Amino acid sequence: MSKGMEGLRRYRENVKAGIITPTKRLKRPSLKKAVLAKCKECCSGYVDGRLDCELSDCSLYFWMPYKNKGQVY
């Protein structure tokens, strides 16, 4: 048995015995919420009146909530 498998077996035994308490997984945000949070961070919290950032080179610009809707890529 490899070291990794042996370590996993011991971990599981310790969890069952109550020696170790497993951590709870955090709920993952949706893709939309993650993109909007990144845009908000990049634009300093939209303090500029929620205007288009005009960074069309950004890979997330397509999902930018305040972009110019008529702009062609």
| Residue 33: per-residue pLDDT | 82
How crowded is residue 38: how many other Cβ atoms within 10 Å of its Cβ?
Answer: 14
| pLDDT per residue as tens digits for the range 39-72 | 878 877 765 556 777 887 888 888 777 777 655 5
| Residue 49: per-residue pLDDT | 54
pTM of the predicted model as reported, rounded to 2 decimal places: 0.45
Tell me whether residue 69 is in a domain.
no
Number of domains within the chain: 1
Residue 59 CA to residue 42 CA, distance in Å, equals 13
| Residue 23: per-residue pLDDT | 74
Residues of the domain holding 26: 3-63
Average pLDDT over residues 27-41: 81
Whether the per-residue pLDDT at 24 is higher than 70: the answer is yes
Tell me whether residue 70 is in a domain.
no
SS3 14: helix
Tell me whether residue 12 is in a domain.
yes
